[in-house]
Copies of this chain bind each other. A is one copy, B any other.
Amino acid sequence: MRTAVLAAAVTELATTGYAALTVEGVAQRAGVHKTTIYRNWKDSDSLVSDALAGHFDSDIPIPDTGSVDDDLRALARSLVATLTTQAGRALITTVLADAVGHPRLAELKQAVFDDRFRRAEPVVTRAVERGELPPDTDPSEFLKALAAPVFFRLVLTGEPVDETTADRAAQVALAAARAGVLSAA
C-alpha cells in the first residue's frame, strides 16, 4: 500500500503540480481510500515529502564498489537515469517551477536534497579511508560538485543529459577533490 501511495503521489506531483495536489487525488490514483492515507500521513505535505525522498532513494542507490571512481560514476549515472525518464524530468521541472511560488514546497525540496546528499556521504568517507581522496574532503561539497553539472544542463541550458554528462561530472568532482579544492572550510 505504502509503495503504491508514494508512487501515486510522485505521479500526481509531476502531472497536476503541487498547488492542485490533494490527498483525495493521490488516493484515487493509488486505488485506496483517503482515510488510509490519513492514517499514515498527517497531510499532503508529509506525503509529498516522503514521496520525493522515496523516489530519489530508490532510483539512486548508494554504490559501494571499493573504488571511488566507480562509485561516483554509478551515482552520476543513476542520477542521470532518473532525471531523464519522461516521469523524472516532469517531476523535477514541476517541483522547481512550483517551488518558486510555494515556500513550503521549496522547504520540502531542500530537505529532500539535504537528506539525499547526507545519505550518500559514505561514498566519500570510504574513499578518504582508502586513501583515494584527501582527508579533508568535504563530503557534501564533493557530492554537490558531482550533481551540479547534471542539473545545470537539465534545468538551465536544456542540453541533452546522458552517460557522457554523468562520467564527465564524476571526473570533474574527482579532479577538484584531488586538487584539494573541495576541502572543508
5 A-B pairs (CB sep. < 8 Å): A97-B100, A144-B152, A171-B176, A171-B179, A172-B172
Copies per assembly = 2
> With A94-B100, A179-B179 in contact, do A172 and B145 touch (Cβ < 8 Å)?
yes
Question: Taking the nearest CB of chain B, how far is it from the CB of A165, in angstroms?
Answer: 10
Chain B residues with Cβ under 8 A from A110's Cβ? 157-158
Chain B residues with Cβ under 8 A from A149's Cβ? 144-145, 148
Q: Are the C-beta atoms of B157 and A152 separated by less than 8 Å?
A: no
A-B interface, 4 closest residue pairs, ranked by CB to CB distance from nearest:
A175-B179, A148-B152, A171-B181, A97-B97
| A96 on interface, CB distance cutoff 8 Å | yes
Please give me the residue from chain B that is nearest to A181 by CB atom: B171
Chain B residues with Cβ under 8 A from A155's Cβ? 96, 151, 155-156
Among A94, A106, A156, A164, max chain B CB count under 10 A is at A156
Chain B residues with Cβ under 8 A from A93's Cβ? 100
| A43 on interface, CB distance cutoff 8 Å | no
Question: Taking the nearest CB of chain B, how far is it from the CB of A161, in angstroms?
Answer: 12
| A168 on interface, CB distance cutoff 8 Å | yes
Please give me the residue from chain B that is nearest to A145 by CB atom: B172
| A182 on interface, CB distance cutoff 8 Å | yes
| A56 on interface, CB distance cutoff 8 Å | no
Please give me the residue from chain B that is nearest to A171 by CB atom: B181
Question: Taking the nearest CB of chain B, how far is it from the CB of A121, in angstroms?
Answer: 15
Choose among B100, B141, B157, B176 the residue that contacts A175 (Cβ–Cβ < 8 A): B176
Q: Type the 1/0 row for A156-185, where 1 means its CB is closer than 8 Å to any CB of B.
A: 111000001000100110011011011001
